[in-house]
Structure formats: structure tokens, C-alpha cells
Amino acid sequence: MRYDLNLLPIFIALMEERSVTRAAERLGMTQPALSNALARLRLMLKDQLFVRERYGIQPTAVALDLGPVIAEALAAIDDAVLGQQEFDPARAERLFTIAPNGYVEFVLVPAIVARLQAVAPGIRLRLTPYGNDLAETGVISGTTAMVVGRIVDPPDNLVVQHLMDEGLDCVVRAGHPEIGDTLSREQFERLRHVNIVPPGRLRAGLFQALAQQSLRRDVAISVTNFFAVAEMIAVTDHIATLPRLICRRLAQDPRVKVLPAPADLGTFPVEMAWHVRYRHDAAHRWLRGLVAEVARELGGAPG
């Protein structure tokens, strides 16, 4: 049987976007053209593939089984073709999907985007969240270029690179009535805390560090991202324990001040992982080098 290979990227876009509208926008197609392509996909693969629901479309069992196989086949073709081509970042027009955790999105991604604007304006990034599950990011199947954050128990088909180590500091309101230029254990335990609970391993690492130092926290509120912390601290007498580079960013806000934690809370690694098929791809290698360079400059990671 002969297959129309032009339909397969459309299948992957529908799998990832779960929306005909978003898939059409991503591929630069009209919705009628994409709907027509979906009809031909259904005929070719002899399955409904996607069923319409209230907030988009959902893949059938057949589509879920085919998704990783088709994604891997397309990635292998890209690897074979693009690996033979020279990559000129200044002239390249390309979209990369990356999966940063919440910390990386706050600290590293803005600097990465700024660097791309300066040296590779045609390179675009699409972010997909990275929580606890590597498989959900698409990096294991190869549909995502890289995942950046804390990588635990990676499968054999991922290559992991250490980017930097990060420490922890504390943030309080600049005019806090109880806190001067230092923070004691007693003050840390007496104050009420803003707790950040993003999905992923960073949360577990902080809990473990506090437990190792026998530090207790009286948690007043838990928020889901780092962006909320400055506003929360600025209008309360609460305290937050945050990664050092995030504290460095928040220190630019005159409403808050950063203090060393009252005990050594250790460090946690920031890592990058990618599928083995992209090991020698020139464009992927260039992008990984840029990410590593930004991480070194921000965090002082080893070369």
C-alpha cells in the first residue's frame, strides 16, 4: 500500500494540539484544508482517529497507538535529511518545541529568547510544560527537541547533560518589621511561608533539604508558580524560600529583599535531556549549545 507521507505531519499536529483550529494555525493551513486532510488520513489509516469533544478533539485508541510510531518515523527522516545539511542560525527558519519546568521557564527561557533574537531571529520556540512525567513532554518520542529541568530516571533513549547547580535563598518584604539584614532559624520557623508547589522534582528537593536541616515551615498559602511570589511577599509579612537565581530576579523589585537561608539547604541540579536521534543533528546541537551557554552565564555552570 502506498501512503501519502504529507499527511503524517498533519496527524502529529492534531495529536499535539488536540484542536483543528490550532493545528491549522501551526501548519499554516486553512481549517477546511486541514479537515480535508483529516478525512484522507481517516481513509488511509482506516480509523476515525479523532473524535470531537466540547473543548477540542481527542485521539482514538488507534491514534494513540500510532502516534509514537509516526512521530519516531518522521523524526528519523528529519534526522537523516537535516543531519546532512549545514545549519546557519542567522538564516534558519525553524520551530523547536522545548519542555522547561517552571523554574527554567522563569529563569532561563527569557535569556534564551533574547539570545535567539540577537543571533537567530528566524528560530521560534514553542513551550510545553514539564512536570513529573517525561513521557508527557514528548521528549521520549522525539516530538520535543529537549526537556530542561530536573531529570530523574531517564530512559535509555535520552541523553542527559548537566547545565548548572542552583542554591536556595529567602525573600521577605523590604520593610518587614521583624527582619533586618539576617535571618535566624527562629525567625524562619516563626514567620508564615508562601509555598510554591509547581509540578516536578524541585518541590520534593526543597522539602528534603528542609527536613535534613530540621527546619519547620508554617505555610500560610501555596501558589502554583514563581510569578505570584513577589506580589504575595510585597503585601504581607510572609517569607518564601526560592531558588537563588529567582531571588536575584526578585531583588530588582524594591518592595522585597533577599536574605541567605538560616541553614545550608544545599543545591539542586538543572539538566537538559534530548532524544538520542538528535545527537548529531546540526540544528539541535546548535540550540543545545546556546541553552548550555546561557545557563553557564546565568548560573556559573562548569564549561
d(CA 84, CA 80) in angstroms, rounded, equals 7
Non-local CB neighbours of 31 within 8 Å, separated by 6+ positions: 20, 21, 24
pLDDT at residue 227 in the model: 82
- At 68, the amino acid letter reads P
pLDDT at residue 247 in the model: 93
d(CA 92, CA 123) in angstroms, rounded, equals 7
Rg (CA), the chain: 23
Task: List, edge to edge, every strand of the sheet that includes 256-260.
Answer: 218-223, 192-196, 239-243, 168-173, 256-260
d(CA 1, CA 44) in angstroms, rounded, equals 9
Query: Is it true that domain 1-82 has CATH number 1.10.10.10?
Result: yes
Mean pLDDT of the chain: 88
- At 302, the amino acid letter reads P
pLDDT at residue 79 in the model: 66
Confidence of residue 95 (pLDDT cuts 50, 70, 90): very high
pLDDT at residue 1 in the model: 56
pLDDT at residue 84 in the model: 59
Q: Please give the angle made by the CA atoms of 273, 275 and 279, to the nearest 5 degrees.
A: 95
CB atoms inside a 10 Å sphere around CB 105: 21
3-state secondary structure of 173: strand
pLDDT at residue 253 in the model: 92
Q: Is the pLDDT of residue 89 over 80?
A: yes
- Where helices occur in the chain by DSSP H, the ranges are 8-17, 20-27, 31-45, 61-82, 102-107, 109-119, 134-137, 185-190, 201-212, 229-234, 244-250, 282-299
**Positive or negative: CA dihedral 129, 73, 287, 301:** positive
CATH no., domain 168-266: 3.40.190.10
Q: Of all residues in the chain, what percent carry a pLDDT higher than 90?
A: 57
d(CA 301, CA 194) in angstroms, rounded, equals 29
pLDDT digits (tens, 9 = 90+) for 191-219: 999 998 764 445 556 778 888 888 899 99
pLDDT at residue 303 in the model: 36
pLDDT digits (tens, 9 = 90+) for 163-201: 999 999 999 999 999 999 999 999 999 999 999 876 444
pLDDT at residue 185 in the model: 95
pLDDT at residue 83 in the model: 59
Q: Is the pLDDT of residue 77 over 80?
A: no
pLDDT digits (tens, 9 = 90+) for 30-61: 999 999 999 999 999 999 999 998 878 999 99
Least confident range of 63-77, 116-130, 258-272, 279-293: 63-77
> Quick one: which of 262, 213, 257 has its CA closest to 237?
257
Q: Report domain extents, the chain.
A: 1-82, 168-266
Q: Is the pLDDT of residue 87 over 90?
A: no
The conformation of residue 109, written as its DSSP 8-state character, comes to: H
pLDDT digits (tens, 9 = 90+) for 239-275: 999 999 999 989 999 999 999 999 999 888 999 999 9
Non-local CB neighbours of 130 within 8 Å, separated by 6+ positions: 99, 100, 101, 104, 137, 147, 148, 149, 200
